[in-house]
């Protein structure tokens, strides 16, 4: 298994543009998490899904952010419109069952100019 | 609300020296604590968890509820230990393991 897969690995865009980050969890994992990492705030949980259903999105910074999980093998995190302060590394992680280890993807480094 | 504090952003030690990465937490419930590590150009991965009470790669961490700490220790650091280390806290209840991370400590082991 290749582990959690994220694309793109790097994204550079201009303020106001729409950005879509993608994640493929490990096959068989029923939990999926989206995190954001910044120098100022460290690693923050944005949202997580269980069996494709969003359970807690209290970490999503504002309405410009949205996340979907249309099926068990794919999730997206969308920012529209993007702003320079959204520049960060976005990680996706998945786990099997409620109390098991979270496996992280390699992250997407987003730069908004 | 839970909070995890790692007071040192950067830590350098010489090879063979003891190393301790500090982690303090605040949480009103019964916490579960973890250490995650990210080696250069690799993914964030679980190093150890307090409930396992195990030693991984020579590292140990003891949960001290009185001091609300979960410091990571290794008696003899190796160059390959150089990495970013994150302490994380999980709520003891809820539908999933929601992790709150500290800001991380970059450990450099000098030759």
Among candidates A102, A105, A106 on the partner chain, residue whose Cβ is nearest the Cβ of B99? A102
Please list every residue in chain A whose beta carbon sits closer than 8 Å to the beta carbon of residue B101: 42-44
Q: What is the pLDDT of residue B54?
A: 83
Which of A29, A63, A64, A65 lies closest to A49 in space, CA to CA?
Answer: A29
Among candidates A41, A99, A104 on the partner chain, residue whose Cβ is nearest the Cβ of B97? A99
Specify the 3-state DSSP secondary structure of A105: coil
Q: Give the sign of the dihedral formed by CA A52, CA A26, CA B4, CA B94.
A: positive
Q: What is the pLDDT of residue B4?
A: 93
Kindly tell me the burial class for residue A16, based on how many C-beta atoms sit within 10 Å of its own C-beta (0-12, 13-18, 19 or more): exposed
What's the first-to-final CA gap in chain A, in angstroms?
A: 35
DSSP conformation class of A45: E
Q: Say yes or no: A91 contacts chain B, CB-CB below 8 A.
A: yes
Q: Say yes or no: A10 contacts chain B, CB-CB below 8 A.
A: no
- Distance in angstroms (rounded) separating the CA atoms of residues B26 and B89: 9
Yes or no, beta carbons of B100 and A99 under 8 Å apart:
no
Token pair of B111 as six digits: 């030759």
Per-position pLDDT tens, chain B of length 111? 788 999 999 999 999 999 999 999 998 877 889 999 999 888 999 999 887 778 889 999 988 989 999 999 999 999 999 999 999 998 755 555 678 899 999 999 999
Best B43, B45, B85 residue to mutate vs chain A (most A CBs within 10 Å): B43
Q: What is the pLDDT of residue A1?
A: 67
Residues of chain B that touch chain A, judged by Cβ-Cβ distance less than 8 Å: 43-46, 86, 95-104
């Amino acid at each position: 298994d290749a582990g959690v897969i994220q694309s793109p690995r790097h994204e550079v865009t201009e303020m106001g543009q729409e950005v879509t980050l993608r994640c493929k969890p490990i096959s068989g994992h029923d939990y999926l998490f989206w995190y954001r990492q910044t120098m100022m705030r460290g690693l923050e949980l944005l949202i997580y899904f269980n069996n494709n259903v969003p359970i807690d999105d209290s970490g999503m910074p504002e309405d410009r952010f949205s996340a979907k999980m249309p099926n068990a093998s794919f999730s997206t995190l969308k920012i529209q419109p993007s702003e320079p302060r959204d520049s960060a590394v976005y990680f996706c992680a998945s786990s099997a069952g409620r109390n098991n280890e979270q496996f992280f993807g390699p992250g997407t480094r987003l730069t908004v100019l | 609300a839970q909070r995890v504090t790692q007071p040192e952003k950067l830590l350098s030690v010489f090879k063979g020296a003891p190393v301790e990465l500090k982690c303090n937490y605040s949480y009103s419930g019964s916490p579960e604590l973890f250490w995650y590590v990210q080696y250069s150009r690799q993914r964030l991965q679980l190093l150890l968890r307090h409930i396992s009470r195990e030693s991984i790669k020579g590292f140990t961490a003891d949960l001290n509820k009185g001091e609300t700490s979960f410091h990571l220790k290794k008696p003899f650091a190796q160059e390959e230990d150089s990495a970013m280390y994150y302490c994380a806290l999980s709520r003891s209840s809820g539908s999933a393991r929601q992790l709150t991370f500290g800001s991380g400590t970059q450990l450099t082991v000098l030759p």
